[in-house]
Amino acid sequence: MFKTKQPEVPTKGKDIETTIEASVNVKGNLRSDGNVRIDGRLEGEIKVKQHLIVGGPAEIKANITASSAIISGTVEGNLKIDGILELTETGKILGDIEVGRLKIAEGAIFGGECKMLVPEPEKEKSKAKKIDHTKSASENKQQGKNKKIGLKKNESSDEIKVEPEDKI
């Protein structure tokens, strides 16, 4: 249907505020409010408020937090990316990721678990549908026509079944 226009991703030039070149090795933490490109080696922690680019020659051993990221090099560590994470055909991630959106190219390597972050409007919708357990059953029933349920333990096993209360 309708496509939303994706924000421009800085790749080089004046939009990149910090660059760690291929010949540079860093041990320590990197924090930036702007866009960062890493082509060298870094061991520590990375927190970027905007966009992170991990170039092809890069080797990173760090947990990463960023608004968005393109990974073309090697990353060993966990990533939390609020927006889009793009793993290119030369990219390699060995660690768990939490992302808003994920794009993986053919040939990329990913070893870990992936958790998709729920956008804020979706969180509000799901909260509205949940039963308030602090209310009585009759209050919840009036709010959303919820049926009463009960738990029944099977005596021959540790299995617990959820059944309508009128069957218990």
What pLDDT shows up at residue 134? 53
Q: What are phi and psi of 84, to 5 degrees?
A: -95, 140
What confidence tens digit (pLDDT) does each residue in 48-84 have? 999 999 999 999 999 999 999 999 999 999 999 999 9
Pair of tokens at residue 139: 């209050």
**Inside any domain, residue 2:** no
**Inside any domain, residue 55:** yes
What confidence tens digit (pLDDT) does each residue in 29-48 have? 999 999 999 999 999 999 99
**Inside any domain, residue 125:** no
Q: What is the mean pLDDT of the chain?
A: 79
Q: Tell whether 60 and 111 lie within a shared domain.
A: yes
Based on the structure, what is the number of domains in the chain? 2
- pLDDT-derived band at 16 (thresholds 50, 70, 90) equals confident
The alpha carbon torsion through 48, 51, 54, 60 (nearest 10 deg) reads 20
Q: Tell whether 73 and 156 lie within a shared domain.
A: no
Q: Which residues span the domain enclosing 45?
A: 13-116
Q: Tell whether 111 and 81 lie within a shared domain.
A: yes
